[in-house]
Amino acid sequence: MVWAGDNISETILENFTGITLIIDIHEPKEIRELFRKEGFIVEEKKLDIGDYQINNFIIERKEIKDFFNSVHNKRIFEQLYQLSQLAKEGYQCFLAIIGNIPKFDYHRKESISKEKYLYFKRLLLSFKVICPVSYNVALVHLDSDKEFIQFIKYLSERRIQKKNLKPVTVKKRERTLEEIRSDMLVAIPKIGRKIADELAKRYSIKELIEISEEKLSNIVIGKRRLGTKAKYIKEALEN
């Protein structure tokens, strides 16, 4: 686990006093009970955005397998967009990813290849940049639910007091397919927003999958060929 301020005062965690934590009703019952045992006053509500709220802090929690699946089905980009709208209103938003990159595929009952493991690793690293830079959302990668609870405790000690702050609601804007494609592409290592926007404007995801790596490498954007970046695009879209 890594976050700014790793040297958390043990006094903060040991002398923790009950603070109201709003948890979305769809979060696992086991997690809610763990927070109650740790001294939180848990309120279960349906949250439109995020899974946890402590005053002005909004946290979207994902198991690491769920995170990779949400990248694949594009849901993560819509969730990050919604969190970014809250950030504009003064909320501090986090994406918390729980667990380590898997080395075994229990569905296929086989070890994950070195290439796929490295792809997952690069994907996770790219989101550590994309989240704060493109969405103003901080990403924290934690080993376990125990560390997630400690992280929430740490946040609760630094919450900003605001009177009568209610569970958040944001009017959702329908996003265009081009915007969604761009967000998918910018998550690929070595693919910046300029390249992602231009590719999303010219091609569908299906077309990018079907085009050969050689042809893709010869596409010119901003007077420069994609070159070796084509390999990363093909690897991400075809896995």
Are 141 and 233 in the same domain? no
Residues 122 and 31 in one domain: yes
pLDDT of the residue at 167: 53
Is the pLDDT at 214 greater than 70? The verdict is yes
pLDDT value at 94 more than 90 = yes
Q: Are 188 and 107 in a shared domain?
A: no
Judge contact between 55 and 77, C-beta under 8 A: no
Pick from 156, 191, 219: which residue ends a domain?
156
More confident residue, 96 or 196: 96
Token pair in block for residue 228 = 């070796």
Q: Residue 191 has what pLDDT?
A: 85
Query: Contact 234/213 with Cβ under 8 angstroms?
Result: yes
Tell me what percent of the residues of the chain surpass a pLDDT of 90.
38
pLDDT in tens, 66-80: 999 898 888 898 899
Total domains in the chain come to 2
Please determine, for residue 156, whether its predicted confidence score (pLDDT) is greater than 90. no
Q: What is the mean pLDDT of residues 1-15?
A: 45
What lies within 8 Å, CB to CB, of 82 at 6+ separation is: 48, 49, 170, 172
Same domain, yes or no: 120 and 200: no
84 pLDDT higher than 60: yes
pLDDT at position 12 over 90: no
Residue at which a domain ends, from 92, 121, 156: 156
Residues 134 and 218 in one domain: no
Is residue 161 a part of any domain in this protein?
A: no
Whether residues 132 and 228 share a domain: the answer is: no
Shared-domain flag, residues 54 and 119: yes
Q: Is the dihedral of CA 21, 25, 28, 29 positive or negative?
A: positive
Per the model's pLDDT, the better-predicted residue between 220 and 10 turns out to be 220
Q: pLDDT value at position 7? A: 44
Residue 69 sits in a domain of what CATH number?
Answer: 3.40.50.10130
Residue 33 sits in the same domain as residue 149? yes
> Most distant CA pair in the chain: distance in Å?
61
Q: Residue 175 corresponds to which amino acid? A: R
Residue 202: domain span: 177-238
Pair 25, 92 in one domain: yes
4 has pLDDT over 80: no
Q: Across-strand partners of 23?
A: 44, 52
Q: Is the pTM of this model over 0.95?
A: no
Q: Is 53 in contact with 167 (CB distance < 8 Å)?
A: yes
The average confidence (pLDDT) of the chain is 83
In a domain, 184, yes or no: yes
Q: What is the pLDDT of residues 26-60, one digit of tens each?
A: 999 999 999 999 889 999 999 999 999 998 899 99
Indicate if 99 and 182 belong to the same structural domain: no
Pair 141, 31 in one domain: yes
State which H helix or E strand residue 183 sits in. helix 177-186
When pLDDT is averaged across residues 128-148 and rounded to a whole number, the result is 92
